[in-house]
């Protein structure tokens, strides 16, 4: 039997098909690829028993891209699971650059296949393994903005690879901070300040030779005014500026123990006003233009009184397509009703609602994969 990699609870997702076959410690098949786990108790039982995936399956096939017919949600889960494995292992056998590049290309394929679903997943899907989820969110957003900027595929691949690995030196701290209500300690502040340089150093030790990738990681918290860190440079690379932009946005729309996530509309406004550097940094404006003021996955109230979730980006940043789920009386529609804010004045968005709003009938696959 091929080498086995032991799965952790945060690599299993409720109501999502498994992206690989799962085995016991003896290599005996327990669950086939595509099986859907429906209850937390099932995950607890499996983890207590010990469940494993073949390392070759975690790494994917020899091709850098998965088969074209892989459903977008399966592709999302596969990339995230493999990324968790890679970031934990950080191999120094020369394979890291190839493996992360493979994942960056799969991020590109996901954006090709289902950009609205990818944005909705950022807004709505579970983030139990926040460091991994955040890295993937940044890669998705960076890829989308870089396309709008006209960057070529090779450059975008380096960008996505940098997004996936920019925080390798503080993954454990990120997880702690997600659940920490107390102010940062002096040691934690030092770790945060040093993590761009430490991450770049770690990547070099693991065999990364792509200079653009490494520079983007080193400078992804630098700003044009010289007030960033760790080196306070005033000329960070374009790739680093883009990464900083999407990093800040993705963090703002993610929940923390000490605060609720910002509404996407508020997060886009803050990124646009605070990071634009009087127009010298073009990427906040591009981000808003690309994902919209209310990106897919945003929960909104319309002028009609209906409540729904943004399904697709529209003809402008202010006119998305909405799947109405509740009528004006708060009763669920039998099926989502599609509203075009560019065509129906009654569909105009009059307010945003928090992501934990209970929406009867919010069926992810129905809304974003049909």
Final residue of a structural domain among 255, 275, 291: 291
Confidence at residue 62, expressed as pLDDT on a 0 to 100 scale = 44
Confidence at residue 346, expressed as pLDDT on a 0 to 100 scale = 95
Q: Are 206 and 228 in contact (CB under 8 A)?
A: no
Whether residues 159 and 268 share a domain: the answer is yes
Whether residues 351 and 226 share a domain: the answer is no
What is the spatial distance between Cα 103 and Cα 323, in angstroms, rounded to a whole number? 31
Final residue of a structural domain among 291, 317, 345: 291
Confidence at residue 53, expressed as pLDDT on a 0 to 100 scale = 81
What DSSP element (H or E) covers 5?
A: strand 4-6
Neighbour count for residue 240 (Cβ, 10 Å): 26
Per-residue buried b or exposed e for 328-353, using 16+ beta carbons within 10 Å of the residue's own CB:
eeeeeeeebeebebeeeeebebeebe
Whether residues 287 and 331 share a domain: the answer is no
Q: Are 110 and 72 in contact (CB under 8 A)?
A: yes
Final residue of a structural domain among 291, 322, 342: 291
Confidence at residue 57, expressed as pLDDT on a 0 to 100 scale = 66
CATH of the domain at 278: 1.10.3210.10
Confirm whether 344 is domain-assigned. Answer: yes
Confirm whether 29 is domain-assigned. Answer: no
Whether residues 169 and 215 share a domain: the answer is yes
Whether residues 175 and 315 share a domain: the answer is no
What is the spatial distance between Cα 83 and Cα 259, in angstroms, rounded to a whole number? 27
Beta bridge partners of 301: 307, 351
Whether residues 265 and 319 share a domain: the answer is no
Whether residues 168 and 271 share a domain: the answer is yes
Q: Residue 77 has what DSSP assignment?
A: H
- For the chain, which ranges sit under pLDDT 50? 1-2, 60-63
Closest CA to 85 of 144, 132, 22: 132
What is the spatial distance between Cα 76 and Cα 70, in angstroms, rounded to a whole number? 10
Question: Crossing angle of helices 115-124/72-89, nearest 10°?
Answer: 60
- DSSP assignment string, 305-330: S-EEEEEE--SSTT--EEEEEE-TTS
Residue 193 belongs to what domain range? 97-106+130-291
Confirm whether 237 is domain-assigned. Answer: yes
What is the spatial distance between Cα 364 and Cα 370, in angstroms, rounded to a whole number? 10
Whether residues 308 and 281 share a domain: the answer is no
Whether residues 348 and 210 share a domain: the answer is no
Question: Please, what is the average pLDDT of the chain?
Answer: 88
Whether residues 253 and 322 share a domain: the answer is no
pLDDT, tens digit, 9 for 90 and up, residues 189-227? 999 999 999 999 999 999 999 999 999 999 999 999 999
> Cα 175 from chain centroid?
15
Q: How many distinct structural domains can be found in the chain?
A: 2
Q: Are 236 and 222 in contact (CB under 8 A)?
A: yes
Confidence at residue 186, expressed as pLDDT on a 0 to 100 scale = 96
Helical ranges in 114-237 per DSSP H: 115-124, 130-149, 153-165, 171-178, 186-205, 211-219
Q: Residue 90 has what DSSP assignment?
A: -
Whether residues 233 and 163 share a domain: the answer is yes
Polymer length of the chain: 370
29-31 and 22-23 beta bridge pairing: antiparallel
Whether residues 157 and 217 share a domain: the answer is yes
Confirm whether 171 is domain-assigned. Answer: yes
Confirm whether 232 is domain-assigned. Answer: yes
Confirm whether 154 is domain-assigned. Answer: yes
Confirm whether 62 is domain-assigned. Answer: no
Confirm whether 13 is domain-assigned. Answer: no
What is the spatial distance between Cα 280 and Cα 319, in angstroms, rounded to a whole number? 27
Per-residue buried b or exposed e for 140-161, using 16+ beta carbons within 10 Å of the residue's own CB:
bbbbbbbbeeebeeeebbbbbb
């Amino acid at each position: 039997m091929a080498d086995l990699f032991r799965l952790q609870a945060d690599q299993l997702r409720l109501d999502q098909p498994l992206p690989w076959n799962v085995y016991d410690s003896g290599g005996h098949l327990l669950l086939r690829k595509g099986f859907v786990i429906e209850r937390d108790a099932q995950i607890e039982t499996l983890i207590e028993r010990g469940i494993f995936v073949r390392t070759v399956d975690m790494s994917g096939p020899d091709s850098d891209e998965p088969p074209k017919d892989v459903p977008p949600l399966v592709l999302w889960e596969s990339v995230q699971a493999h990324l968790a494995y890679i970031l934990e292992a950080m191999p120094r056998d020369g394979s890291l650059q190839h493996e992360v590049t493979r994942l960056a290309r799969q991020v590109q394929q996901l954006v090709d296949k289902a950009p609205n679903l990818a944005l909705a997943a950022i807004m709505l899907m579970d983030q139990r393994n926040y460091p991994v989820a955040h890295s993937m969110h940044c890669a998705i957003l960076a890829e989308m903005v870089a396309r709008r900027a006209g960057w070529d595929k090779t450059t975008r691949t380096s960008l996505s690879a940098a997004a996936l690995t920019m925080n390798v030196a503080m993954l454990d701290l990120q997880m702690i901070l997600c659940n920490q209500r107390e102010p940062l300690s002096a040691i934690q502040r030092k770790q945060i300040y040093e993590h761009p340089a430490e991450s770049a150093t770690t990547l070099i030790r693991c065999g990364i030779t792509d200079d653009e990738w490494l520079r983007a990681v080193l400078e992804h918290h630098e700003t044009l005014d010289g007030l960033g860190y760790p080196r306070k440079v005033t000329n960070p690379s374009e790739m680093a500026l883009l990464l900083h932009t999407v990093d800040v946005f993705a963090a703002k729309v993610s929940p923390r123990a000490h605060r609720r996530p910002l509404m996407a509309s508020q997060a886009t406004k803050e990124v646009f006003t605070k990071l634009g550097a009087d127009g010298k940094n073009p990427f906040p404006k591009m981000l808003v233009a690309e994902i919209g003021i209310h990106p897919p996955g945003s929960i909104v109230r319309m002028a009609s009184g209906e409540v729904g979730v943004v399904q697709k980006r529209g003809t402008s940043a202010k006119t998305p397509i909405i799947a109405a789920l509740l009528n004006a009386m708060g009763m669920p529609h039998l099926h989502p009703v599609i509203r075009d804010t560019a065509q129906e004045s009654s569909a105009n968005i009059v307010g945003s609602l928090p992501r934990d709003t209970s929406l009867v009938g919010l069926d992810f696959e129905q809304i974003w994969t049909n």
